[in-house]
Structure 1
Amino acid sequence: MRRSIFLAALLGLALALPSAAFAGVVAQINLSSQRMHVFVNGKPAHTWKVSTARSGYRTPTGTYKPYHLARRHYSSIYNNSPMPHSIFFYKGYAIHGSYETKYLGRPASHGCVRLHPSNAARLYSLVQRYGAGNTTIRITR
């Protein structure tokens, strides 16, 4: 009986603190603040400015897993624009580096999540190290 109570309590704790129990990378993007918080093995690792969808476009909200990584990618829709260190997470949406760094911290994209190129390289490296299956991308309003 005591063992059952202990196991139930342990399970409850694991469910209450999912990021602490998660071994891997979590990228939390907040559309309102235009910030990304990166957690590695449940611990805060980075906070970066991002640019998400400007008026007339949308960045999808929800929880995703990366499905494709591309160190060098060029947009097939928007004038062959460079998208260094792309992490694709939903249809054609990606987190990627942008050379339009003056816009970081405010909505400016066609829907992707833009990062400073050096931060995109760091995130890309983390996703490679821990694996796409151990990476979660969470986008909230």
Structure 2
Amino acid sequence: MVHPSRGGDVANVLWHNYFKPVLFVAVIFVWALTWSFMEYGFGIPVQALSHQPIRFLPHPKRVGILYPLLIKTHGAISVSSLYHDITLEPRENFVIAPQGPHEFALHPTRFWPDSTTIDCVIHDHQGTEQTVLHTDDGKVLRVDLTTQTMEAYEDETLVRVMPVSTGTSPRWATPTGTFYIFRRVLDDHMQGGEPGTKDYWDVHHVPYAQYIYRGIAIHGAWWNNHFGIPRSHGCIQLSTRIHNPHPQHVIDNAKWVWDFADLGTPVIIFGQTPQNSSTPLSYPEE
């Protein structure tokens, strides 16, 4: 028979000499295993499991001086981390903005240098990702809402001035600011506005459409025969011979701008739409 105090002493000895060290080791093991799983997925990096490192998305061979470089990430990542991981040569100041789930856009702070090759590199846990931008000859389009004209500049030299028709004021006034061409459609189908009203449009074969902001584009308007006054629902209309009933009397400014510009070409819109502008020009019926 074991004496009560003797039994307590044995229990204390067993706890301190055997069970307590084993429990301590077990706690450390579970903690280490949990941390390892959260960080690496049982020793395999989470990034490797996804097979999707941070990468640049495809882009045109030649881009305008405001073209955004798109970046796709493998998962959630902070903008500050991307700033740390990206280098440009020659060195240029840039900003990074979220575009959607796991997608970011890298823009120049002002413009990319013209006629330049820019080497862009991402350094991440799996190595490096590289792409090259070839910028064009410093081409810029400027739209003056007050005079209803478009000016084309190349290397800061004015090369062409064209009459335009922008949005009517106040409801359909073309927005001001600096934009860039992000989508080009040679033969477009445009549809929008309020169905059942005069402010609804459904037009096929809109030539040389170059989108700069949401649904606003620079494009040819073969149904418009009077440029130099606001007549659109926000777009910047130019003369064109495409589908025009009298092409021999028309200067195809829309085609010229199409050939001049590219994805990323800056479009600077300034001035003020005349307050006495008329209602938008009716669109042709199919």
TM range (shorter): 0.7 to 0.9
Query: 1:96: Cα distance to partner?
Result: 0.4
User: Which of 176, 184, 196 is equivalent to 1:61?
Assistant: 176
Amino acid at match of 1:63: T
Residue of structure 1 equivalent to 2:191: 76
Amino acid at match of 1:76: Q
Normalised by the length of structure 2, the TM-score is 0.39
Q: Cα deviations across residues 68-94 of structure 1 (Å, max 9, x unaligned)?
A: 001100212212254210110000100
Tell me, what secondary structure is at the counterpart of 2:259?
helix
User: Which of 144, 160, 166 is equivalent to 1:52?
Assistant: 166
User: Which of 263, 266, 282 is equivalent to 1:132?
Assistant: 263
Amino acid at match of 1:106: I
User: Which structure: greater strand fraction?
Assistant: 2
Higher RCO (C-alpha 8 Å, min separation 6): 1
Q: Is the 8 A contact 1:53 1:110 kept in 2?
A: yes
- Looking at structure 2, the residues matched to 132 and 40 of structure 1 have their Cα atoms a distance apart, in angstroms, of 15
Residue of structure 1 equivalent to 2:157: 43
- Looking at structure 1, the residues matched to 191 and 225 of structure 2 have their Cα atoms a distance apart, in angstroms, of 23
Q: Is the 8 A contact 1:82 1:98 kept in 2?
A: no
- Looking at structure 2, the residues matched to 113 and 33 of structure 1 have their Cα atoms a distance apart, in angstroms, of 13
Residue of structure 1 equivalent to 2:147: 33
Stretches of 4+ aligned residues off by more than 3 angstroms: none
Residue of structure 1 equivalent to 2:37: none
How many percent identity over aligned positions? 28
Bigger radius of gyration among the two: 2
Q: Cα deviations across residues 22-78 of structure 1 (Å, max 9, x unaligned)?
A: 532111000000000101222111100000011331201100111000110021221
Residue of structure 1 equivalent to 2:35: none
- Looking at structure 2, the residues matched to 81 and 138 of structure 1 have their Cα atoms a distance apart, in angstroms, of 27
Matched, 1:110 2:110: no
Query: 1:102: Cα distance to partner?
Result: 2.3
> Which segment drifts farther, 101-110 or 21-30?
21-30
Normalised by the length of structure 1, the TM-score is 0.77
Please tell me the root mean square deviation across aligned C-alpha atoms, in Å.
1.9
